[in-house]
């Protein structure tokens, strides 16, 4: 860990402090470079599989014949069973770590099922478990975390300098371990922007919970797709931006 200097109450002190690792990752599919973006060099196999699935390049892990991770050089070589179709249009996302996607379309996703419900009292321990499991966040405070939950227990948890990368890792790990994401709850420490909402819909998660706020585009899409979006979760409060019918509650008029 590097030494840093902290100024507090009129004086400097020196101490060791954990700092988030960041490096470029290049994904090669059948010898073709698909993308290079910044990430935290952990779970690179899951990150790659999730990225390929989100972008429609693979339908599942059965499309991958071989996957080789070179963490030293930041390269993942993927051998697919068919030749990849390289998208022509790149869209750089609003997330940390210079993320990218090839599509932001959500119109082709059907509205999600309505049978998953939570009580307000379930929201707080879920977010608490996210922070408790995010060990790199606890050490550095400079990284995003995302988790998949069944509403009671955490199923998967990942961290990355890019909030969208953290979701890619969640999907990739779920695919490689055969864990269903449909009907689950997604939690994130980052903002739920339009690309994050698209990934939520792709995974079939009808409830998305964040410690921060959504954007106008993500709210519009969440309304259309039937996704309950919850933000600004604090110790005893949170905001519900769309589809509050999934929460078992009683509304009182606010001031």
Q: What is the number of other CB atoms lying within 10 angstroms of the CB of residue 229?
A: 25
Q: Which two tokens stand for residue 103?
A: 């599509």
The residues that bridge with 79 in the sheet, in sequence order, are 66
| Structural domains of the chain, with CATH | 23-101 (3.10.20.10), 120-246 (3.40.140.10)
Calculate helix-pair angle for 194-202, 216-225, nearest 10 degrees.
Answer: 20
| Active-site annotation, residues | 96
Contact 186, 223 (CB under 8 A): no
| Per-run averaged pLDDT (10 residues), the chain, 255 residues | 90 92 96 94 98 94 97 97 71 48 60 85 96 92 95 97 96 98 96 94 96 95 96 96 88 64
**79 CB neighbour count, 10 Å cutoff:** 13
Q: Tell me, what's the pLDDT at 254?
A: 62
The pLDDT score that the predictor gives to residue 49 is 98
DSSP code for 216? H
Nearest to 172 by CA among 251, 249, 75, 58: 58
- Confidence (pLDDT) at 95: 52
CB atoms within 10 A of CB 5: 9
């Amino acid at each position: 860990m590097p030494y840093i200097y902290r100024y507090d109450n009129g004086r400097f002190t020196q101490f060791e402090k954990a700092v988030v690792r960041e490096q470029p990752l290049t994904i090669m599919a059948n010898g073709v470079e698909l993308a290079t973006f910044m990430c935290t060099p952990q779970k690179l196999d899951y990150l790659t599989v999730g990225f390929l699935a989100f972008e429609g390049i693979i339908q599942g892990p059965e499309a991958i014949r071989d996957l080789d991770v070179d963490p030293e050089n930041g390269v993942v070589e993927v051998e697919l069973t068919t030749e990849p179709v390289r998208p022509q249009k790149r869209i750089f996302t609003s997330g940390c770590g210079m993320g990218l996607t090839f599509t932001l379309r959500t119109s082709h996703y059907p509205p999600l099922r309505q049978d998953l419900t939570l009580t307000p009292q379930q929201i707080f321990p879920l977010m608490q478990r996210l922070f408790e499991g995010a060990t790199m966040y606890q050490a550095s405070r400079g990284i995003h975390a995302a988790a998949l939950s069944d509403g009671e227990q955490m199923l998967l948890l990942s961290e990355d300098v890019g909030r969208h990368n953290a979701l890619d890792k969640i999907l990739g790990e779920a695919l490689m371990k055969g864990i269903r994401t449909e009907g689950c709850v997604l939690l994130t420490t980052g903002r739920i922007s339009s690309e994050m909402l698209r990934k939520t819909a792709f995974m079939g998660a009808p409830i998305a919970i964040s410690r921060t706020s959504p954007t106008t585009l993500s709210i519009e899409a969440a309304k259309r797709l039937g996704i309950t979006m919850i933000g600004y979760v604090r110790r005893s409060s949170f905001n519900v931006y769309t589809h509050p019918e999934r929460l078992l509650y009683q509304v009182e008029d606010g001031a």
